[in-house]
Amino acid sequence: MAECITAQGQQQQAQAAEVATALLRTASRNLLLAELQARLTTALVASEAHVCQSPRPQRDAYGSECYWEERYQRQDGLFEWLVTWEDLRDALLSRVAPAARVLHVGCGNSALGVRLAAAGRGGGGVVNVDVSATVVAQMRARFAHARGVTWDACDATATPYGDGAFDVVLDKRTLLRRLRACDAMAASGDDGAFDVVLDKGTLDAMLCKDPPQAKACAAAALTAEAHRVLRPGGTYIIVSFGQPETRLSHIRGSAPWTSVTFQKIPLAGHPHIWLYCATKQPPPPQQQQQ
Protein backbone atom coordinates (compact mmCIF):
# COMPACT_ATOMS: atom_id res chain seq x y z
CA MET A 1 0.00 0.00 0.00
CA ALA A 2 2.75 2.42 0.91
CA GLU A 3 4.46 1.74 -2.37
CA CYS A 4 1.23 2.54 -4.26
CA ILE A 5 0.84 5.81 -2.41
CA THR A 6 4.44 6.69 -3.16
CA ALA A 7 4.01 5.89 -6.84
CA GLN A 8 0.85 7.97 -7.03
CA GLY A 9 2.61 10.86 -5.32
CA GLN A 10 5.47 10.72 -7.72
CA GLN A 11 3.06 10.65 -10.65
CA GLN A 12 1.17 13.65 -9.28
CA GLN A 13 4.43 15.48 -8.74
CA ALA A 14 5.47 14.74 -12.31
CA GLN A 15 2.12 15.95 -13.62
CA ALA A 16 2.36 19.06 -11.49
CA ALA A 17 5.85 19.70 -12.83
CA GLU A 18 4.60 19.32 -16.39
CA VAL A 19 1.75 21.73 -15.71
CA ALA A 20 4.13 24.19 -14.10
CA THR A 21 6.51 23.93 -17.04
CA ALA A 22 3.66 24.47 -19.49
CA LEU A 23 2.45 27.46 -17.50
CA LEU A 24 5.93 28.92 -17.46
CA ARG A 25 6.25 28.45 -21.20
CA THR A 26 2.87 30.08 -21.77
CA ALA A 27 3.75 32.94 -19.47
CA SER A 28 7.08 33.43 -21.18
CA ARG A 29 5.44 33.35 -24.60
CA ASN A 30 2.78 35.83 -23.48
CA LEU A 31 5.46 38.01 -21.97
CA LEU A 32 7.42 37.92 -25.20
CA LEU A 33 4.32 38.69 -27.25
CA ALA A 34 3.46 41.55 -24.93
CA GLU A 35 6.97 42.91 -25.23
CA LEU A 36 6.89 42.60 -29.01
CA GLN A 37 3.47 44.25 -29.11
CA ALA A 38 4.72 47.08 -26.94
CA ARG A 39 7.74 47.59 -29.17
CA LEU A 40 5.58 47.52 -32.30
CA THR A 41 3.15 50.01 -30.80
CA THR A 42 6.01 52.30 -29.83
CA ALA A 43 7.44 52.07 -33.34
CA LEU A 44 4.07 52.81 -34.94
CA VAL A 45 3.45 55.78 -32.67
CA ALA A 46 6.91 57.13 -33.42
CA SER A 47 6.35 56.63 -37.13
CA GLU A 48 2.99 58.40 -37.05
CA ALA A 49 4.46 61.20 -34.98
CA HIS A 50 7.26 61.59 -37.52
CA VAL A 51 4.76 61.79 -40.37
CA CYS A 52 2.41 64.14 -38.55
CA GLN A 53 5.18 66.34 -37.26
CA SER A 54 7.24 66.40 -40.44
CA PRO A 55 7.63 70.07 -41.23
CA ARG A 56 5.82 71.35 -44.28
CA PRO A 57 8.06 72.93 -46.88
CA GLN A 58 9.25 76.36 -45.93
CA ARG A 59 7.32 79.02 -47.78
CA ASP A 60 10.33 79.98 -49.87
CA ALA A 61 10.68 76.36 -51.06
CA TYR A 62 7.84 77.00 -53.51
CA GLY A 63 10.18 79.36 -55.31
CA SER A 64 12.89 76.72 -55.66
CA GLU A 65 13.41 74.67 -58.82
CA CYS A 66 14.94 71.82 -56.77
CA TYR A 67 11.85 71.58 -54.55
CA TRP A 68 9.52 71.03 -57.50
CA GLU A 69 11.81 68.58 -59.27
CA GLU A 70 12.11 66.47 -56.12
CA ARG A 71 8.37 66.71 -55.50
CA TYR A 72 7.48 65.42 -58.96
CA GLN A 73 10.06 62.64 -58.71
CA ARG A 74 8.12 61.40 -55.66
CA GLN A 75 4.63 61.99 -57.08
CA ASP A 76 3.22 60.83 -60.38
CA GLY A 77 -0.39 61.93 -60.55
CA LEU A 78 -2.64 64.85 -61.38
CA PHE A 79 -3.15 67.77 -59.02
CA GLU A 80 -4.82 71.17 -59.29
CA TRP A 81 -3.57 74.12 -57.26
CA LEU A 82 -6.03 76.66 -55.85
CA VAL A 83 -9.04 75.84 -58.05
CA THR A 84 -10.26 73.16 -60.45
CA TRP A 85 -11.20 73.34 -64.12
CA GLU A 86 -14.86 73.42 -63.11
CA ASP A 87 -14.19 76.51 -60.97
CA LEU A 88 -12.47 78.30 -63.86
CA ARG A 89 -14.46 76.98 -66.80
CA ASP A 90 -16.83 79.91 -67.37
CA ALA A 91 -14.16 82.55 -66.76
CA LEU A 92 -11.74 80.94 -69.22
CA LEU A 93 -14.27 80.12 -71.93
CA SER A 94 -15.33 83.76 -71.98
CA ARG A 95 -11.74 85.01 -72.28
CA VAL A 96 -10.00 82.45 -74.51
CA ALA A 97 -11.05 82.35 -78.17
CA PRO A 98 -11.56 79.03 -79.98
CA ALA A 99 -8.61 79.71 -82.31
CA ALA A 100 -6.30 81.25 -79.68
CA ARG A 101 -2.77 80.01 -79.12
CA VAL A 102 -2.28 79.52 -75.39
CA LEU A 103 0.83 79.31 -73.21
CA HIS A 104 0.23 77.65 -69.83
CA VAL A 105 3.21 78.47 -67.62
CA GLY A 106 4.12 76.42 -64.59
CA CYS A 107 1.71 73.70 -65.64
CA GLY A 108 3.07 71.12 -63.21
CA ASN A 109 0.83 68.04 -63.05
CA SER A 110 -2.35 69.97 -63.87
CA ALA A 111 -4.70 68.90 -66.66
CA LEU A 112 -5.93 72.48 -67.09
CA GLY A 113 -4.48 72.88 -70.59
CA VAL A 114 -5.95 69.56 -71.71
CA ARG A 115 -9.38 70.48 -70.36
CA LEU A 116 -9.20 73.87 -72.07
CA ALA A 117 -8.45 72.26 -75.43
CA ALA A 118 -11.17 69.64 -74.94
CA ALA A 119 -13.65 72.46 -74.31
CA GLY A 120 -12.96 73.92 -77.76
CA ARG A 121 -10.53 76.66 -76.78
CA GLY A 122 -6.90 77.13 -77.74
CA GLY A 123 -7.35 75.74 -81.24
CA GLY A 124 -4.09 77.41 -82.25
CA GLY A 125 -2.34 75.06 -79.83
CA VAL A 126 -2.00 74.84 -76.04
CA VAL A 127 1.65 74.81 -74.95
CA ASN A 128 2.24 73.69 -71.36
CA VAL A 129 5.63 74.53 -69.87
CA ASP A 130 7.24 73.67 -66.57
CA VAL A 131 10.73 73.95 -65.14
CA SER A 132 10.65 70.30 -64.03
CA ALA A 133 11.71 67.92 -66.78
CA THR A 134 10.30 65.07 -64.69
CA VAL A 135 6.73 66.34 -64.62
CA VAL A 136 6.89 67.31 -68.30
CA ALA A 137 7.84 63.71 -69.18
CA GLN A 138 5.03 62.40 -66.97
CA MET A 139 2.42 64.65 -68.56
CA ARG A 140 3.58 63.90 -72.11
CA ALA A 141 3.19 60.19 -71.43
CA ARG A 142 -0.17 60.58 -69.69
CA PHE A 143 -1.71 62.69 -72.47
CA ALA A 144 0.19 61.31 -75.44
CA HIS A 145 -3.00 61.19 -77.51
CA ALA A 146 -4.35 64.64 -76.58
CA ARG A 147 -4.80 66.75 -79.71
CA GLY A 148 -3.40 70.25 -79.96
CA VAL A 149 -1.68 70.04 -76.56
CA THR A 150 2.10 69.93 -76.06
CA TRP A 151 4.58 70.09 -73.17
CA ASP A 152 8.01 71.71 -72.97
CA ALA A 153 10.54 71.71 -70.14
CA CYS A 154 11.31 75.40 -69.80
CA ASP A 155 11.33 78.38 -67.50
CA ALA A 156 8.74 81.03 -68.17
CA THR A 157 10.94 83.91 -67.13
CA ALA A 158 13.10 83.47 -70.24
CA THR A 159 11.30 81.34 -72.80
CA PRO A 160 12.59 80.41 -76.26
CA TYR A 161 9.44 81.67 -77.95
CA GLY A 162 9.49 84.68 -80.23
CA ASP A 163 8.13 88.11 -79.38
CA GLY A 164 4.37 88.35 -79.56
CA ALA A 165 4.00 84.58 -79.71
CA PHE A 166 0.81 83.85 -77.78
CA ASP A 167 -2.75 85.15 -77.50
CA VAL A 168 -3.17 84.01 -73.89
CA VAL A 169 -0.61 83.16 -71.22
CA LEU A 170 -1.78 81.01 -68.30
CA ASP A 171 0.38 80.77 -65.17
CA LYS A 172 -0.02 77.79 -62.83
CA ARG A 173 1.94 77.37 -59.63
CA THR A 174 5.54 76.55 -60.47
CA LEU A 175 8.75 78.43 -60.20
CA LEU A 176 10.13 79.53 -63.49
CA ARG A 177 13.82 80.24 -64.00
CA ARG A 178 16.07 80.86 -66.96
CA LEU A 179 14.67 78.82 -69.85
CA ARG A 180 16.70 76.02 -71.31
CA ALA A 181 17.27 76.21 -75.03
CA CYS A 182 14.58 74.50 -77.14
CA ASP A 183 16.47 73.70 -80.35
CA ALA A 184 13.69 71.65 -81.88
CA MET A 185 11.23 74.50 -81.50
CA ALA A 186 13.61 76.96 -83.10
CA ALA A 187 14.26 74.55 -85.97
CA SER A 188 10.53 74.27 -86.65
CA GLY A 189 10.36 77.92 -87.70
CA ASP A 190 7.50 78.59 -85.28
CA ASP A 191 7.25 82.32 -84.51
CA GLY A 192 6.25 81.44 -80.96
CA ALA A 193 3.56 84.11 -80.69
CA PHE A 194 0.72 83.52 -78.22
CA ASP A 195 -2.72 85.03 -77.73
CA VAL A 196 -3.10 84.01 -74.08
CA VAL A 197 -0.68 83.33 -71.23
CA LEU A 198 -2.32 81.43 -68.36
CA ASP A 199 -0.86 81.59 -64.84
CA LYS A 200 -2.53 79.62 -62.04
CA GLY A 201 -0.36 80.05 -58.99
CA THR A 202 3.04 80.60 -60.60
CA LEU A 203 3.19 84.26 -59.66
CA ASP A 204 2.26 83.19 -56.14
CA ALA A 205 5.19 80.76 -56.12
CA MET A 206 7.58 83.50 -57.26
CA LEU A 207 6.41 85.67 -54.40
CA CYS A 208 7.33 82.96 -51.88
CA LYS A 209 11.01 83.64 -52.46
CA ASP A 210 13.27 85.24 -49.90
CA PRO A 211 14.60 87.88 -49.45
CA PRO A 212 12.06 90.49 -50.67
CA GLN A 213 14.39 91.62 -53.46
CA ALA A 214 14.45 88.08 -54.86
CA LYS A 215 10.69 87.76 -54.96
CA ALA A 216 10.30 91.16 -56.60
CA CYS A 217 12.86 90.29 -59.29
CA ALA A 218 11.31 86.86 -59.94
CA ALA A 219 7.79 88.28 -60.23
CA ALA A 220 9.01 91.05 -62.55
CA ALA A 221 10.81 88.54 -64.78
CA LEU A 222 7.71 86.35 -65.03
CA THR A 223 5.26 89.11 -65.89
CA ALA A 224 7.67 90.82 -68.28
CA GLU A 225 8.18 87.55 -70.14
CA ALA A 226 4.44 86.99 -70.35
CA HIS A 227 4.10 90.45 -71.90
CA ARG A 228 6.90 89.75 -74.36
CA VAL A 229 5.50 86.50 -75.78
CA LEU A 230 1.95 87.83 -76.10
CA ARG A 231 0.72 89.13 -79.41
CA PRO A 232 -0.58 92.73 -79.40
CA GLY A 233 -3.98 92.67 -77.76
CA GLY A 234 -3.19 89.37 -76.01
CA THR A 235 -4.15 88.56 -72.43
CA TYR A 236 -2.17 87.45 -69.40
CA ILE A 237 -4.59 85.57 -67.10
CA ILE A 238 -3.46 85.05 -63.51
CA VAL A 239 -5.23 82.95 -60.89
CA SER A 240 -3.92 83.81 -57.44
CA PHE A 241 -4.74 83.61 -53.76
CA GLY A 242 -3.20 87.08 -53.39
CA GLN A 243 -5.50 90.07 -52.96
CA PRO A 244 -5.19 93.10 -55.27
CA GLU A 245 -3.18 95.11 -52.76
CA THR A 246 -0.46 92.44 -52.84
CA ARG A 247 -0.52 91.56 -56.55
CA LEU A 248 -1.32 94.60 -58.68
CA SER A 249 2.02 96.32 -58.10
CA HIS A 250 3.88 93.23 -59.31
CA ILE A 251 1.68 92.83 -62.39
CA ARG A 252 1.66 96.48 -63.42
CA GLY A 253 5.22 97.35 -62.48
CA SER A 254 7.11 95.17 -64.95
CA ALA A 255 5.32 95.70 -68.27
CA PRO A 256 3.27 98.42 -70.03
CA TRP A 257 -0.11 96.70 -69.85
CA THR A 258 -2.99 98.61 -71.41
CA SER A 259 -5.33 97.47 -68.64
CA VAL A 260 -5.35 95.19 -65.62
CA THR A 261 -8.69 93.99 -64.25
CA PHE A 262 -9.45 91.68 -61.35
CA GLN A 263 -12.36 89.86 -59.76
CA LYS A 264 -12.99 87.26 -57.09
CA ILE A 265 -13.61 83.72 -58.23
CA PRO A 266 -16.88 82.57 -56.64
CA LEU A 267 -15.78 79.51 -54.71
CA ALA A 268 -17.29 78.14 -51.51
CA GLY A 269 -14.82 78.07 -48.67
CA HIS A 270 -12.10 80.03 -50.51
CA PRO A 271 -12.95 83.73 -50.30
CA HIS A 272 -9.53 84.95 -51.42
CA ILE A 273 -9.01 83.37 -54.84
CA TRP A 274 -8.66 86.08 -57.49
CA LEU A 275 -8.64 86.26 -61.27
CA TYR A 276 -6.43 88.97 -62.83
CA CYS A 277 -6.45 89.83 -66.54
CA ALA A 278 -3.68 92.02 -67.99
CA THR A 279 -4.08 93.13 -71.61
CA LYS A 280 -1.22 93.97 -73.93
CA GLN A 281 -1.43 97.07 -76.14
CA PRO A 282 -3.54 96.20 -79.22
CA PRO A 283 -1.97 96.71 -82.65
CA PRO A 284 -2.43 100.10 -84.37
CA PRO A 285 -5.71 100.45 -86.30
CA GLN A 286 -3.96 100.14 -89.68
CA GLN A 287 -2.46 96.79 -88.66
CA GLN A 288 -5.83 95.56 -87.41
CA GLN A 289 -7.38 96.33 -90.80
CA GLN A 290 -4.67 94.33 -92.55
**Residue 40 sits in the same domain as residue 90:** no
The answer to the question of residue 73 being in a domain is no
Residues 82, 201 contacting (CB under 8 angstroms): yes
Lowest mean pLDDT among 23-27, 86-90, 149-153: 23-27
**Residue 8 sits in the same domain as residue 111:** no
- Which of 217, 106, 89, 115 shows the shortest CA–CA distance to 155? 106
pLDDT in tens, 56-102: 456 556 767 788 899 999 988 999 988 999 999 999 999 999 999 99
**Residue 25 sits in the same domain as residue 108:** no
Domain span at 38? 1-54
Compute the C-alpha angle 92/209/198, nearest 5°.
Answer: 15
Select from 36, 54, 72 the last residue of a domain.
Answer: 54
For residue 45, pLDDT beyond 80: no
Concatenated DSSP letters of 98-128: TT--EEEET-TT--HHHHHHHTT--TT-EEE
**Residue 33 sits in the same domain as residue 111:** no
Q: Please, what sign has the CA dihedral across residues 165, 168, 171, 172?
A: negative
For residue 185, pLDDT beyond 80: no
Lowest mean pLDDT among 243-252, 259-268, 273-282: 259-268
Select from 54, 76, 96 the last residue of a domain.
Answer: 54
The answer to the question of residue 74 being in a domain is no
The answer to the question of residue 77 being in a domain is no
The answer to the question of residue 60 being in a domain is no
**Residue 164 sits in the same domain as residue 275:** yes
The answer to the question of residue 69 being in a domain is no
* Per-residue pLDDT, 123: 96
The CATH number of residue 220's host domain is 3.40.50.150
**Residue 90 sits in the same domain as residue 234:** yes
The answer to the question of residue 112 being in a domain is yes
Lowest mean pLDDT among 124-133, 176-185, 237-246, 265-274: 176-185
**Alpha-carbon separation of residue 149 from 18, 76, 124, 235, 261 (angstroms):** 79, 19, 10, 19, 28
Q: How confident is the model at residue 227 (pLDDT cuts 50, 70, 90)?
A: very high
Name the average pLDDT for the chain.
Answer: 78
Task: Give the relative orientation of helices 212-229 and 244-252 as an angle to the nearest 10 degrees.
Answer: 60
For residue 290, pLDDT beyond 60: no
Lowest mean pLDDT among 23-37, 44-58, 75-89: 44-58
* Per-residue pLDDT, 175: 35
Residues 175, 205 contacting (CB under 8 angstroms): yes
Number of structural domains in the chain: 2
* Per-residue pLDDT, 188: 39
Q: How confident is the model at residue 22 (pLDDT cuts 50, 70, 90)?
A: low
The answer to the question of residue 47 being in a domain is yes
